[in-house]
Amino acid sequence: MPERPKYRATPPEAPKPAAGMADLRHAPSWIRIARSIIRRLPAGRYRLAERLSRKPPSPFVATAHPAFGSFAFECDLRDSISREVCFTGCYEPQETLLVREILKPGMTFVDVGANWGYFTLLAAHLVGPQGTVVALEPDPRMFAKLEANVLRNGYRNVTLHPFAAAAADGHLPLQVYDEAAGNFGLSHLLPGSTDAGAVSVRTRPLDSVLDALGLGVVDLLKMDIEGAEGLALQGLARSLEARRVTSLLLELHPRALEAYETSLGEIFDLLTSAGYTSQIIDHSPKATRRAAYGQISDAGKLLRSYVPRETLDAWPHLLWRHTSEAHGEGAPR
């Protein structure tokens, strides 16, 4: 019998209460005015957004860019991700452009390490009512925000899971993010640790998650989990071998991988042996600026082929596609 998911969004006319959801006001008028101005600036958007956030108000409800469905989300200006989406309308412009180009109505998207849901909400809009979005977020505080954001938008095509992707079922300690650090997306697993500041979270293999939901194919899987990519991909090995996943959008953390007793080489070997080819996403300052300011409309211009054994930067972003997909054959459904 398929496993019942932790939560599935309900329609807007019958919302399910979520912690803190009713307590938030809409964005203050000065923020709405500043947002309107910043999104039109030809330069300096991020510097101005950061300056305006030095004395942040209490969290409020903000909206993303209209091109992304104007989804509403809980915004805390202390968090760099929320701040960018609030004022500029976008986060990780290169990945956003790729996701918008890849996902079409009716497709399936899996967000591993969903944070408060930027890509989850964007994907829910892109795949539409007939599509499917699955999001995993193990940090309890961030999962509550993710759940509230999905409810706030009334998406019925989203399923949420409050656990971490790993090689096997079990529990691992999670070092949760520090609110004073300015980035609420830095929670990470601590294999073998007994750190008093960590919380125990459930882990599950992605193969089991996809099986339980009855998903025959995943059109795009995005993963950003601060170094635990090797663990998560081990738990996805069966699906990779079966061509169940068409494309993967990965942010890798080479230094952090060592704590999980894995390496970039092992991850590349796993994916290439399963028939995937990689392309590096250009994250140079020039490419980031051009993508952020709408100067690139073709996501392909952000990609280049990976040269085996080339030196990668500290946080390489890669798009992996199955060889059959790259050659236009498509994946079995």
Output the domain CATH number for residue 140.
Answer: 3.40.50.150
Q: Let me know: does 290 contact 296? Beta carbons within 8 Å.
A: yes
Identify the three-state secondary structure at position 3: coil
Q: Let me know: does 292 contact 93? Beta carbons within 8 Å.
A: yes
CA 26 remoteness from chain centre: 24
| CA–CA gap between residue 295 and residue 293 (Å, rounded) | 6
State the DSSP string of 110-131.
Answer: EEES-TTSHHHHHHHHHH-TTS
Cα Rg, the chain, nearest whole Å: 19
Domain span at 158: 92-326
CA 201 remoteness from chain centre: 19
Q: How far apart are the first and last CA of the chain?
A: 21
Q: Is residue 218 part of a domain?
A: yes
Identify the three-state secondary structure at position 45: helix
Tokens of 281: 């996403």
Identify the three-state secondary structure at position 75: strand
Q: Is residue 23 part of a domain?
A: no
φ/ψ region of 194 (left if φ > 0, alpha if ψ in -120 to 50, else beta) reads: alpha
Q: Is residue 149 part of a domain?
A: yes
pLDDT (0 to 100) of residue 332: 36
Q: What total of structural domains would you count in the chain?
A: 1
Helices (H), the chain: 29-38, 45-52, 80-88, 93-102, 118-127, 140-153, 206-213, 229-234, 237-241, 254-257, 264-273, 285-292, 323-326
Whole-number Cα distances in Å, 15 to 32, 152, 195? 26, 8, 38
pLDDT (0 to 100) of residue 260: 75
**From first to last of its 333 residues, what are the pLDDT tens digits of the chain?**
334 344 444 333 333 444 445 467 888 999 999 999 999 999 999 999 999 999 989 999 999 999 999 999 999 999 989 999 999 999 999 999 999 999 999 999 999 999 999 999 999 999 999 999 999 999 888 899 999 999 999 999 999 999 999 999 998 887 666 665 555 555 666 666 556 667 788 899 999 999 999 999 999 999 988 778 888 999 999 999 999 999 999 998 887 777 777 888 899 999 999 999 999 999 999 999 999 999 998 999 999 988 877 778 778 999 999 877 654 444 433
pLDDT (0 to 100) of residue 196: 60
| CA–CA gap between residue 34 and residue 125 (Å, rounded) | 25
pLDDT (0 to 100) of residue 35: 94
- Parallel, antiparallel, or unpaired: how do β-strands 245-251 and 317-322 relate? antiparallel
pLDDT (0 to 100) of residue 155: 95
Q: Is pTM, for the whole model, over 0.95?
A: no
| CA–CA gap between residue 1 and residue 20 (Å, rounded) | 34
Q: Is residue 224 part of a domain?
A: yes
Q: Is residue 216 part of a domain?
A: yes
Q: Is residue 97 part of a domain?
A: yes
| CA–CA gap between residue 241 and residue 103 (Å, rounded) | 22
Label residue 51 exposed, middle or buried (CB < 10 Å: 0-12, 13-18, 19+).
Answer: exposed
Q: Is residue 230 part of a domain?
A: yes
Q: Is residue 29 part of a domain?
A: no
Q: Let me know: does 315 contact 255? Beta carbons within 8 Å.
A: no
Q: Let me know: does 125 contact 68? Beta carbons within 8 Å.
A: yes
| CA–CA gap between residue 4 and residue 38 (Å, rounded) | 43
The position carrying tokens 């989804």 is 71
